[in-house]
Structure 1
Amino acid sequence: MAPRLPQAGGDWPCERGDRCNNPAAPPSPLAALASRGQTGAMEFFPEQARARLSIGELASFSLTGTGGRPGTAGLWRTRLGQQWHEALREPGAAPAGTRFEVAVEGSLHWKDWQIDLQGRIDQLRDEEGRTCIREVKTTLDALPVPDEDLMAAHPGYLAQLGAYLRLWRNAHPESAAPPAGELHFIDASSGISQILRPDPETTAAALDARLDELVAFLDARGAALARLRELPPPAAFPSLRPGQQGVADRLLAAIESHRTVLFQAPTGFGKTGLVLEAALESLRRGLFRRIVYLTGKSTGQLEVARQLAALAGDPPGFRFRQIRNKGEHCINHEFHCFPEVCRFLDGIEQRWTPAAFRSVLNQVSFNPSLEEVREAGRRETVCPYEITRSSLPFQDLLLGDYNYLFAPGSRGVILDTPGFDPGETLLLIDEAHNLPGRAAEALSCALDPRRLNATYHDLAASSAHPRLLHAWEQLLRLIDTLGPTESLAAAAEDDLADLAAEFARTAENHPPERHRLRPPAADDLQEVLRLAKDAGVPSFPRHGWVDTNGVVRLTCLDAADWIREVLQPFAATVLLSATLGPTERFARACGLGETTSIDASAPWKFGAYRTIIDTRADTRYERRRAAVPLTAATLARLAESLGPPVVGFFPSYAYAGLVLEQLSSHHPLHRAVLQPRGADLAGQAAFIEESLVLADILLLVLGSSFSEAVDGLGGRVRAALVAGPSYPEVNAIQRARLELRRGAGRETAFHETYRIPGLIKVNQALGRMVRAPGQEVAIVLHCRRFAEEACRSLLAPDLATDAIAVDDAGFEAWLAATASAQSSITQ
């Protein structure tokens, strides 16, 4: 379709974004939660200069609006509103003859645009021959307050009333008297009512302001579509490596014809660049209006942002924004995000106006860095996070963490973006092998009695209502009675949910003053509310247990249904990874239906790994300590024969620590180092860089936080040893998952619960050892389990080997041949 170019006088930047949501009724509680944040049904037809949306969406449309962020607090407000609307329909609660939920629709013409609107009037009645329209609104603020303060605090409600009044007047031109309008506010805590009767000029001005903002946005949206169509075809690389030829075209064809595409290619292949090339070309051709790119790794996001900057060109041809969390944006000494304690949020409505937003956009670069946004926040005395939120509707591509779609409390960041429509969006999910686990993690919760006790004291100190304190205390008492157990009784789990639901209901009527709580206490409130049966949390297989520290955990065992519901509204989805594992199993874990797969290979990787399976060692947990001397000696021999640095990958810190002690005592000439615990990304990178220079042997833990830092090892180590296939720890959760899969047979259940996750970690780590043509590394798969066919078949193709060491002589022969081969390559 041909986009409509902006009209003269439009001064919004040439950005994109319109909210248009799937109007289908949600088929299940899961779907209801998945669609949360998609409250409007805006459709945008630039070639016709026409938009269609609900009156509620028009009233709340604000690119610089703050507050009311999604999450459990939003659920409180929703349920409160429903309760009071139902109460006001009781006999005698409203004047006789009042009609409720009266449907209204019509069109308004504004600055060359036709705005089609529809909605429902809360209450409609005739009063002395004149129509009276009343909207009912609940508030958490204490009433009464001066009328002018209430109107200043809720301009959107005035705009909503103004829209109903104007549409009603347009539909009834024969009426002698214009309709009257009322806003009926109800204090949620006390039930006190306050009725406003704003004059027609006030409601008309509020409506006009919303229409001005909407139309300026639509003009900019049309300009953005025109700009995208004029972009030159994107090219991720100046020249293609072997194996890359034609992949972007295959991806583009798959995206055009399938809703779900699985793309698997080895580490170092250039997956990110080729996927971005295909995605941006689909945007240029008008197949989609926006791209969302999600990955679970911070370093992965930085790499995507780097490639996007290169693809955007100079001057940039498209806009993208990496979504960072509130804490990273914060410019206060302490992160505590409430207007009452933050001068950048307090009174922001007066400072963060459309004019201020335009001013900021003119002062920062086309795709500004986080520091630029933070500096703009200091200059304007506006929360930097709100600056980022205001910019999201204008982005062609949004980049962020999985949580922004798969965590119920965070997904509104994207879905509530004005103009966002998943039905017009291409979703790209990188490192997709992590998605089932991350989605399950987002649906799990933990209650630490020590933290909950501290939160109780915080609530008491903040003068929380006695009923709220009592509800929290009841929950604490129950948790105190639960001792460590691998399986929480169903009755105890139900009791927990019931008490959490009681706290949620109490909080609806007596909400806590969150700004007076410490940040951890505010987090604890959210965790408890997630337990509430009626808080909108979806039904999914989960396992309740209590760890040795008394922490009650409710862990999601299978997030497949949730993932399917989240993906369903999107126009198309590409899931990419170097290690999707068996694709049938991955598709089941994500609840996927029909898919198409693209598997690409890097010819230069074959032969880059000189691999041997070392069956001399048995690294199973019960025999691990006995294997430590051999493991340490093997690492020392690799360093001696092939030269440092050598890296050893282990399934746990405990095992790595034992090997470190053995190396120190029996092989003191080789300096060995073990990855530190708790290091941030910068600390991890520093450890890797320093160790590559100063150490002979690096000991790392598979699947730990260092999984991102391992990228720094590519092409820089001579050999790597993997001490066992890294099966997940046998614990309450793994046993529960095993039991959940028993129906498929014992062997299949074990294979999917232990082998596949373990070998994915192995393949991921070793795939990062060779990232470019010409790199080589020797690999020792140090455990006899690697020789089992069920395990061996899961190894990445470039790790395939027929070399097996059954004794020291066999290992030494392979080592000598490998040393000779590496020496000849070096020469």
Structure 2
Amino acid sequence: MEKRVTISVRELVSYVYRGGSIDERFQSNTALVEGTAIHQEVQGKYKEEDEKEVFLQYEFDQDGISLNIQGRCDGLLRTDEGVVIDEIKSTARELEEIDEHSHPVYWAQAKGYAFMYATQQQLQHIEVQLTYVQKSTKEKKRFQQRFTHQELAMFMDETIAVYSSYAKILLYIREQKEKTIPELGFPFPNYREGQRKLAGSVYHTIEEKRNLFAQAPTGIGKTISTLFPAIKALQLEGTERIYYLTAKTVTRATAEEALSKMKELGLQLRSVTLTAKDKICFQEETICQPEYCMFADGYYDRINGAIIDILINETQMTRSVLEEYARKHRVCPFEFSLDLTDVVDVVIGDYNYVFDPRVSLKRLLPEKKKKTALLVDEAHNLVERARDMYSAVIHKHSFQAILDEWGSDNGKLLKSASAIVKDLERIHLNGGSHRKLDDIPGELEENIERFISAAEAILQEEAVGEQSEALLDVYFQSQNFVKILELVDDHYRYIGESVNDDFTLKLFCLDPSHVLRQTTKSFRTSVFFSATLSPFAYYKEMLGGTKDDYILQLPSPYEASQIDVMITPLSTRYKSREQTARQLVERLQHQAVEHPGNHLFFFPSYHYMEMVYHEFRNTSDLDAVMQEKGMNEDRREDFLAQFVEGGRLIGFAVLGGIFSEGVDLRGDRLNGVAVVGIGLAPRSFEKELIKEYFNQKGRSGYDYSYVFPGMNKVLQAGGRLIRSEEDSGAIQLVDDRFLSRKYMQLLPEDWGNYRILR
């Protein structure tokens, strides 16, 4: 087996020369390496004979390993004194704060390019230049050093010598993976009906670098049917990594279980599960600064040892494993998990690590995306999540608070905040309390950018405190707004909302399909799958699908006789709820008696649920429990743990909430489900804008805005019942509208054998 490792110059020198602490006073310490527009502006002023984005590579042989080092230097300048390698870095810091020795990693990166070019051109010496550009002022500061080829060769030899021990570990884990994947068989004795077809479709989709939209019934085993073929596809040339993306923690655990199952059969690859920073942080407050957090202090001095330790000793880097090694090596568990994404084979995490433009992994560079397959679980959730990710708001009171809290000595900050308040007040005065705006003042964007620049300057120096924390919040709010503003087109609407003396300006994404398509096209493959991509055409369109994408709709593998489907034509409309409450309770009690065991009853709101729950408790001897607002993970687990085999417990829960999808109560732990209402969201200004937008596009705006998202909640809740071939039970749909043609055609085929309860 060829012992060859390919690595970029940037990755090489970052591993060898990084050091110091995490200090996210206003952004991560990697934020200096950014600014495509700034790079292009500097490169645009190069002379005609100069070159930009020059690809360079060199092969090193070290301890029996071939190291292929490659990268693109920003500029190759031709001067009277000879060639100059130019490395461009943008910075939010004031240029007078930066000296020649500020960033050893940047010099190391530039020297790597210089060595490769000097070797290629047989130069005896070469100039190396660092060009810093201040992001706000666009001022530049340059440093130059002259190196002989011999000096650069010695530097690279020393760098490679340090890296080679790590390279051996990477080769070892790669050899384990490449040996065990071909030997891996499907981790169950037999495929369920439809599983083989789904698995084959996923593999061929990755092989052909296409996208797939797959609707596979609940209980078919979608996680193993997508992960298994994707792992087999890691043998294909140009496929190096899998991102398994989910909306909920419980589905991440299912992916971990699938990997464990394959590990039992001998599979040896590395995976990491990403957990939100505020959940995995060891400190009471998530303040990523060395003076506050011992796990941030000196992080980059210790992280290499932590990575080597965990890679040698673990294959599945779940939250608990990460926490164990993070404490052992005294490193931040969140940043630790992010650093591991560069070297593992499977990354399990939330949608936002790929799709959210504000928090997506910047380390997932274009060349890595081309070698990455995305598996998007419960993809129906991504439509609304994407709307949120690609929308942004600013509040007048946030900037007013800055004016009230900061002293007059912060002139630039106060001047820009005051200008933003005045801009928002002008919009505020020109209309009603909640309205669509035709446009926003151009100067507002300029004032927000000035505020961001002024806030950055302060946050660089400011110690942690309530005042700086408040400024940090407004800074990020402003950054997000400007970032989303760059995306605004005819898929967006400007919304103004006045509440008391405050005014909120929102950039509202009506249709996220365009931005989702732009995101996924940079990856090798995207597989969107769910039990409820229904109606299929709607979800394919909203998730950014094209006519070239593959589609797969699998029928239910279960017998219709496993489900007793009942439709109770009772009005659950808001105005009818009190009058029909007693009748509804009787129907629910009848279901619980006719189908002894555990049941989950789902309601469209907390208020409605509480009203029926109390009536149920007053008129029945059956044990009942009710979902509480704001339940944390422990309380959720306690709630579900009450549903034991052989029990007779009635659970009251909210439709579209934490218990209506992703919950897996197999066998006798759940014997019946009732869904009260058709899942329609209350009418709102934003929903009406979505309706209007799709009407203008020739679609049924009401269906796109209300019906399809609502019925998806119904289907997901009903899907809690049948989780395996052995499961059976009752589903009761309570609402007279379920018998109308519009809703009837949205019900799954295996719910078609229903009976009507009068």
Task: Classify the TM-score, shorter chain.
Answer: 0.7 to 0.9
The one-letter code of the counterpart of 1:690 is Q
Q: CA deviation at 1:202?
A: 7.4
In the superposition, relative to structure 1, how do residues 336 and 296 fare at CA in structure 2: closer, same or farther (>3 Å)? same
Q: Which residue of 1 aligns with 2:298?
A: 347
- Which structure 2 segments of 5+ residues have no match? none
- Which structure 1 segments of 5+ residues have no match? 7-45, 91-96, 808-827
Deviations 1:719-748 (A, max 9, x none): 3322211112211111011001113557x2
C-alpha distance in structure 2 between counterparts of 1:750 and 1:105, whole Å = 52
Contact persistence 1:403–1:411 (CA under 8 A): yes
C-alpha distance in structure 1 between counterparts of 2:496 and 2:56, whole Å = 55
C-alpha distance in structure 2 between counterparts of 1:123 and 1:67, whole Å = 34
In the superposition, relative to structure 1, how do residues 161 and 755 fare at CA in structure 2: closer, same or farther (>3 Å)? closer
Q: Which residue of 1 aligns with 2:185?
A: 234
The one-letter code of the counterpart of 2:567 is I
Contact persistence 1:71–1:408 (CA under 8 A): no
Aligned length: 738
In the superposition, relative to structure 1, how do residues 430 and 355 fare at CA in structure 2: closer, same or farther (>3 Å)? closer
Q: Which residue of 2 aligns with 1:727?
A: 680
Q: Mean alpha-carbon deviation: is it higher for 186-195 or for 232-241?
A: 186-195
Q: CA deviation at 1:85?
A: 6.7
Q: Which residue of 1 aligns with 2:341?
A: 392
C-alpha distance in structure 2 between counterparts of 1:697 and 1:690, whole Å = 10
Q: CA deviation at 1:400?
A: 0.9
The one-letter code of the counterpart of 1:631 is L
SS at 2:119's partner residue? helix
Q: Which residue of 2 aligns with 1:358?
A: 308
SS at 1:649's partner residue? strand
Q: Which residue of 2 aligns with 1:503?
A: 451
Q: 2:616 aligns with which of 647, 650, 663?
A: 663
C-alpha distance in structure 2 between counterparts of 1:465 and 1:428, whole Å = 48
In the superposition, relative to structure 1, how do residues 683 and 514 fare at CA in structure 2: closer, same or farther (>3 Å)? farther
Q: 1:597 aligns with which of 535, 551, 565?
A: 551
Q: Which residue of 2 aligns with 1:466?
A: 411
Structure 2 residue 581 is matched with structure 1 residue 581: no
Structure 2 residue 222 is matched with structure 1 residue 271: yes
Aligned positions of 1:444-459 closer than 5 A: 444-448=391-395
Contact persistence 1:436–1:590 (CA under 8 A): yes
Q: Which residue of 2 aligns with 1:23?
A: none
The one-letter code of the counterpart of 1:780 is Q
Q: Mean alpha-carbon deviation: is it higher for 252-261 or for 591-600?
A: 252-261
The one-letter code of the counterpart of 2:326 is G
Q: Which residue of 1 aligns with 2:482?
A: 532
C-alpha distance in structure 2 between counterparts of 1:115 and 1:256, whole Å = 27
Contact persistence 1:475–1:496 (CA under 8 A): yes
Q: CA deviation at 1:407?
A: 0.5
In the superposition, relative to structure 1, how do residues 181 and 668 fare at CA in structure 2: closer, same or farther (>3 Å)? closer
C-alpha distance in structure 1 between counterparts of 2:72 and 2:43, whole Å = 25
Q: 1:638 aligns with which of 586, 591, 596?
A: 591
Q: Mean alpha-carbon deviation: is it higher for 710-719 or for 593-602?
A: 710-719
Q: CA deviation at 1:700?
A: 1.2
SS at 1:344's partner residue? coil
SS at 1:341's partner residue? coil
Q: CA deviation at 1:466?
A: 2.1
Q: CA deviation at 1:393?
A: 2.3
Q: CA deviation at 1:787?
A: 0.3
Contact persistence 1:414–1:420 (CA under 8 A): no
Q: Which residue of 2 aligns with 1:374?
A: 323
Q: CA deviation at 1:372?
A: 3.2
Contact persistence 1:76–1:508 (CA under 8 A): no
Aligned positions of 1:400-419 closer than 5 A: 400-412=349-361, 415-416=364-365
Q: CA deviation at 1:432?
A: 0.8
Residue identity over aligned pairs, in percent, reads 24
Structure 2 residue 482 is matched with structure 1 residue 558: no
Q: CA deviation at 1:788?
A: 0.5
SS at 1:722's partner residue? strand
Contact persistence 2:274–2:319 (CA under 8 A): no
C-alpha distance in structure 2 between counterparts of 1:571 and 1:84, whole Å = 27
Q: CA deviation at 1:238?
A: 2.8
C-alpha distance in structure 2 between counterparts of 1:213 and 1:260, whole Å = 41
Structure 2 residue 29 is matched with structure 1 residue 82: no
The one-letter code of the counterpart of 1:427 is L
TM-score when scaled to structure 1? 0.78
C-alpha distance in structure 2 between counterparts of 1:574 and 1:268, whole Å = 18
C-alpha distance in structure 1 between counterparts of 2:585 and 2:692, whole Å = 36
In the superposition, relative to structure 1, how do residues 730 and 537 fare at CA in structure 2: closer, same or farther (>3 Å)? same
Q: Which residue of 2 aligns with 1:313?
A: 264
In the superposition, relative to structure 1, how do residues 434 and 167 fare at CA in structure 2: closer, same or farther (>3 Å)? same
TM-score when scaled to structure 2? 0.85
The one-letter code of the counterpart of 1:326 is K
Q: Mean alpha-carbon deviation: is it higher for 80-89 or for 729-738?
A: 80-89
Structure 2 residue 378 is matched with structure 1 residue 428: no
The one-letter code of the counterpart of 2:480 is R
Contact persistence 1:446–1:554 (CA under 8 A): yes
After superposition, the CA RMSD in angstroms is: 4.0
Q: Mean alpha-carbon deviation: is it higher for 189-198 or for 424-433?
A: 189-198
Contact persistence 1:229–1:284 (CA under 8 A): yes
Q: CA deviation at 1:564?
A: 0.6
Q: Which residue of 1 aligns with 2:628?
A: 676
Please state which structure has a larger fraction of its residues in strand.
2
SS at 1:435's partner residue? helix
The one-letter code of the counterpart of 1:541 is Y
Contact persistence 1:715–1:769 (CA under 8 A): no
Contact persistence 1:258–1:595 (CA under 8 A): no
C-alpha distance in structure 1 between counterparts of 2:413 and 2:613, whole Å = 52
C-alpha distance in structure 2 between counterparts of 1:184 and 1:641, whole Å = 77
Aligned positions of 1:81-120 closer than 5 A: 82=38, 86=42, 106-111=56-61, 112-120=66-74
Contact persistence 1:498–1:532 (CA under 8 A): no
C-alpha distance in structure 2 between counterparts of 1:712 and 1:490, whole Å = 49
Larger RCO (CA within 8 A; separation ≥ 6): 1
Q: Mean alpha-carbon deviation: is it higher for 185-194 or for 796-805?
A: 185-194
Structure 2 residue 650 is matched with structure 1 residue 697: yes
Q: 1:437 aligns with which of 355, 366, 384?
A: 384
In the superposition, relative to structure 1, how do residues 316 and 514 fare at CA in structure 2: closer, same or farther (>3 Å)? farther
Q: 1:778 aligns with which of 730, 733, 747?
A: 730
Deviations 1:295-318 (A, max 9, x none): 111100011101101212376511
Q: Mean alpha-carbon deviation: is it higher for 515-524 or for 288-297?
A: 515-524
In the superposition, relative to structure 1, how do residues 513 and 679 fare at CA in structure 2: closer, same or farther (>3 Å)? farther
C-alpha distance in structure 1 between counterparts of 2:37 and 2:214, whole Å = 45
